[in-house]
Chains A and B, each alone.
Chain A
Amino acid sequence: MAAPMLRLCCPGRRWALACIDGCSRHRRGAPNGCTSSRKRGQSSVAQQPFITAQKPRKGEHEWAAVVGLEIHAQISSKSKLFSGSQVHFAAPPNSLVSFFDASLPGTLPVLNRRCVEAAVMTGLALNCRINKKSLFDRKHYFYADLPAGYQITQQRLPIAVNGSLVYSFCAGKNRSQVINKTARVKQIQLEQDSGKSLHDDLRSQTLIDLNRAGVGLLEVVLEPDMSCGEEAATAVRELQLILQALGTSQANMADYEIQRQINELENGGEILNETRSFDSKLGCTIPMRDKEGKQDYRFMPEPNLPPLLLYDTESLPAGADPQQVIDIDRIREQLPELPSVTREKLVQQYGMLPEHSFTLLNEVGLLEFFQNVMKETRAEPKKVTSWVLNTLLGFLKQQNLAVSESPVTPSALAELLNLLDRKAISSSAAKQVFEELWRNEGKTPAQIVSEKKLELMQDQEALEQLCHAVMEGHPQVVMDVKKGNPRAINKLIGLVRKATLSRADPTVIKEILEKKLAS
């Protein structure tokens, strides 16, 4: 069963070698139906959620959308899966291609150790059983960007099976309800990527670049445990974060594409009763009639590769060449901290709300920013969280900037929060200072405060005199307050604030006024 194909594009960054590329088993099943136009120099990504709708029984009126996913993540390695040519997303066409990648006769596959380690790490992070013996197979189909006519994959016995991906779905009105969900991981397998086709419809030809042919992919197959597009997108996002934390894949995918996926899936899920493919150029779904009949990949064992054997400390053969054996236990010990653990630590250490920990991890560089501010400030974590997630992030989003492009540095924000914490400035003054800092004119918060005379009045006596003066000047309002009008006091506070040119803390003003009114 083929599935809607959604094509994504990745922003081209120097280190963004990998993309999440999701393809169904039948990506090439109906070549007449799909165009894969990929921009030169950009790694494009396809995510093909495998949607099946359950058959309605008599009396049932609702279709239940059930979403399974196959996700391909490009492995972060210097060289390809079975050859020593370079993995790099931007290079002149066909310059990163070895004789094996071009499928010249007489060439043989040689397995890259780093790719195996990446697969084991990912399997362990997703709670899979690592198969100590796994096998390679050939999957045959004809397409111009697959020079050998087959792809080496792991169909019979993949490297990892039966795992789970835990993700948290933010539901409820304010998305403040955090529900933990689990999607079962059916398997993780190593396989080759294909080259890139550029379709030139004008001249009725396809241009082939094999730079990507043979790059190592991790295919992660999730069972149909997700019940809507949004859940699927959240699960994928979590997988992305895990892969990035492990370093096994850069896994870059534009955020807007995740949103587009959600829309696509939610629309598709409601009317789905056949398999459709999405043509990104036409911007709509078209039925995919497999003119070739049921696709038969004629799987066969890869005759040039013996089984892949992995070991643990117990089974490690004595005196073995460490370069030639892979110890699963060793890899497990060296696993970096996973996002879920990082989030839990934030909640424990800073008393943060869970949904805030999600936001901090979801933005690239935001967690680091937050931690740097925390290092230099005495302000409470809750205050820092609020400033980072609301103010800073708000400004960044407005101008579509990455955290790394923020004109306000962690030190500057820390200094500002220290002033606020010391009650040297009011919170509204702090906002003003932040806006000034954003303009990036090289001034420190202290400089801005003194230039704009934003310091809070420290002289208690002077403030009391001002309050007195205001009260004298507005007897009617004073009467209203004494009559019990709750809003009148705010008017008084406002008047005093104006008189102080906003340099007094409203709470302090209120205290003084209330004291005077009571006497």
Chain B
Amino acid sequence: MWARAWRLGLRALVGGRRGFTCKADTKGSGRITAEVIEHLERLALVDFGSQEAVARLEKAIAFADRLRAVDTDGVEPMESVLEDRCLYLRSDHVIEGNCAEELLQNSHRVVEEYFVAPPGNISLPKLDEQEPFSHG
């Protein structure tokens, strides 16, 4: 599957005579803006700490973008590799639980059988509050 898609992709890049529908690439230059990086960092709590990391991200996106070269008109998207599997239905009986002590051992702080968390989400510092670093 992968191999075939790859070959098709190459042909499209080289010749473009087969008429594959190629969706417009919004980031033509393949660069990711600083705003997008900041947004991603907030959403996923990932730290793109260096220019290298951002470059790697850009390459990963470019690599995945080659999928667009495949003509998928009229093809149903695959939702999951499990789509042909049967979804098992469990009977409505109580069979687990009652392990508060065990679970609470995982917590750094505990108050009377409650997990302790900081009060609400702690926002990441804004872009201009971070160290000066050019995201390109």
B113 partner, pick from A93, A140, A293, A296, beta carbons under 8 A: A93
Q: Which residues of A contact B92 (CB under 8 A)?
A: 77-79, 112-115
> Which candidate, B8-16, B48-56, B58-66, B117-125, is the interface stretch facing chain A?
B117-125
Cα separation A98 to B100 with both chains bound (whole Å): 9
Question: By CB atoms of chain A within 10 A, which of B42, B92, B99, B112 has the most?
Answer: B92
Are B120 and A206 interface neighbours, CB within 8 A? yes
Contact status of A84 and B79, CB under 8 A, knowing A31-B121, A93-B114, A110-B88? no
- Cα of A309 to Cα of B83 in the assembled complex, Å: 10
The answer to whether residues A97 and B117 also contact, given A79-B94, A86-B94, A291-B123 and a CB cut-off of 8 A, is: no
- With a cutoff of 8 Å between Cβ atoms, the chain A residues found around residue B88 in the complex are 110-111, 324
The A96-110 residues at the B interface (CB cut-off 8 A) are: 96-99, 102, 104, 110
Min CB distance, A511 to chain B, in Å? Answer: 67
User: Are A84 and B89 closer than 8 Å at their CB atoms?
Assistant: no
The yes or no answer to B3 lying at the interface (CB within 8 A) is no
| Neighbour of A85 across the interface among B89, B91, B94, CB < 8 A | B94
A306/B94 in contact, CB under 8 A = no
Residue in chain A with minimal CB distance to B107: A208
Chain A residues with CB under 8 A of B117 = 144, 197, 205-208
B73 within 8 A of A: no
Interface of B is mostly: loop
A116 at the interface (CB under 8 A from B): yes
**Are A95 and B98 in contact (CB-based, < 8 A)?**
yes
1/0 per residue, CB under 8 A from A, across B7-48: the answer is 000000000000000000000000000000001001111000
Main secondary structure of the interface of A (DSSP, over half): loop
- Residues of chain A within 8 A of B91, CB atoms compared: 113-114, 323
State whether the Cβ of A441 lies closer than 8 Å to any Cβ in chain B: no
- Cβ-based interface call for B95 (8 A): yes
Residues of A within 8 A of B118 (CB): 144, 204-206
A binding-site residues for B, Cβ under 8 Å = 28, 31-32, 77-79, 83-86, 92-99, 102, 104, 110-116, 135, 140, 142-144, 197-201, 204-210, 291-293, 296, 298, 301-309, 323-324, 326
A/B interface sample: 14 pairs, CB < 8 A? A32-B123, A84-B90, A94-B103, A97-B97, A111-B90, A113-B90, A140-B43, A197-B117, A301-B79, A306-B85, A309-B87, A323-B91, A324-B86, A326-B89
